[in-house]
Structure 1
Amino acid sequence: MGLKESLAAAGLLVLEECGDLGGLVPPLVTGQAPSCPPEEGRTESLLDMDDPLLLEKANANWYRLSVAAGLFTEADRRFVVAVTPEPDGPSRWVCVELRDPWDIMGRGASDLLGSGYCRPEFRMLSLDGSTLSCGTTWETAISTFVLKSPHCSKTLRAFADWVATGEIGHPAESAAARRWLDSH
């Protein structure tokens, strides 16, 4: 399944243009968001994997947290999602619009947005870069969380500093990390 088809299964329409995304926190850097403590602005909702209403609650929590934090609005449901289109290639942001019906945690997590049905592993960012929305899977629970003002996160900035050294990631990701750090 291709990128557009995979995201469409989650209810996300890939858009050709969303403006300049060059100044956003690099997707690789946002991979450290689960390590951000609540003091850095992280708000989380945990659900036990054995919950009989896991899918419904997980999708509802993602939507509620994302709208409240400003990932998108009811009127404008555009944002970017992190993808790595090629193995060993750089991760990048893809502009999408949430369409009805949608299923981020079920069909979405079964492919590009996770490791299986109700096993999310995704990072989404508002178009202005001010809100990060993530899903991750723990041992017995799944987490949906948001991080306001990712540029203020000491955890993300420290990781970006390491990425910028070129020791990890793709060279394009190192350059993007340096640009992001220098711009904030």
Structure 2
Amino acid sequence: MKANADWFELATRFGLFSAESHFLLAISVPHPKAVDDTDVEAAWGLVELLDGWDIMGAGCAAGITGGPFGHPAFVMSALDGTVFLQGTVWQDSIGTCVLPSPNRVQSLRDVARLNIGDSYRTAAENEDTIAWLAS
């Protein structure tokens, strides 16, 4: 699938992968103070790209990187937060876009600051966020 090849080319060129092929994938989880199933937020999950991967097809069909098959809806980050990749569906096509240096985007910085100190955030999460804001 050409969309997989394009995703991989962008991910490689912009440094998404660690030396061990690890990266972060935003995973929807229930908000700790949720009142119903629609109240979710994204949490970063550590993943590894294995042989035989299929981000745009099987990953979407399984609901991991979107859904249904061929309909990506994901956000990924390098472990150090230096690049974000997003897969999405438009009216008549699918694609991947890349955001180098996301720490320079004011709206992302504002959201990160709002999350620091939430009662359900761990000290390590707060420290990682503060370090990302300082980078």
- Tell me the TM-score range normalised by the shorter chain: 0.7 to 0.9
Q: Give the structure 2 partner of residue 12 of structure 1.
A: none
Q: Work out the CA distance in 1 between the residues paired with 2:104 and 2:67.
A: 29
Q: Which amino acid aligns with 2:80?
A: D
Q: Does 1:99 align with 2:50?
A: yes
- State the shift of 1:160 in Å: 4.9
TM superposition shift of 1:146:
1.0
State which of 120, 124, 149 in structure 1 corresponds to 2:72.
Answer: 120
Once residues 111 and 22 of structure 2 are traced to their aligned partners in structure 1, the CA distance between those partners, rounded to angstroms, is 27
Name the structure, 1 or 2, with higher relative contact order (CA <8 Å, separation 6+): 1
Q: CA deviation at 1:134?
A: 1.0
Does the aligned pair in 2 maintain the 1:120–1:142 contact within 8 Å?
yes
Are 1:59 and 2:11 matched, yes or no? no
- Of 8, 14, 17, which aligns to 1:69? 14
2:95 paired residue number: 143
- SS of the residue corresponding to residue 75 of structure 2 reads strand
Percent identity of paired positions between Structure 1 and Structure 2: 36
TM-score when normalising by structure 1: 0.56
Q: CA RMSD in A?
A: 2.9
TM-superposed CA distance for 1:145, in Å, is: 1.1
Specify whether residues 141 and 158 from structure 1 end up closer, same or farther in structure 2 by C-alpha distance, changes over 3 A only.
farther
Task: Show structure 1 runs of 5+ residues with no match.
Answer: 1-55
Measured in 2, the distance between the counterparts of 1:172 and 1:150 equals 24
Report the 3-state secondary structure (helix = DSSP H, G, I; strand = E; otherwise coil) of the residue aligned with 1:151: helix
CA distance in 2: counterparts of 1:79 and 1:137, whole angstroms: 22
Task: Decide whether the 8 Å contact of 1:90 with 1:172 is kept in 2.
Answer: no
Q: Is the 8 A contact 1:157 1:181 kept in 2?
A: no
> Whole-Å Cα distance in 1 between the matches of residues 74 and 68 of structure 2?
12
* Runs (5+) with no aligned partner, structure 2: 31-36
Task: Compare the two structures and name the one with the higher helix fraction.
Answer: 1
Deviation at 1:90, TM superposition (A): 3.5
For 1:107-147, what per-residue CA distance to the aligned partner results, in whole angstroms no more than 9, with x for missing partners? 11121211211110001111111011110111111120111
For 1:73-88, list aligned pairs within 5 A: 75-86=19-30, 87=37, 88=39
Task: Work out the CA distance in 2 between the residues paired with 1:160 and 1:127.
Answer: 16
SS at match of 1:85: strand
Aligned to 2:81: 129
Q: State TM-score, norm by structure 2.
A: 0.74
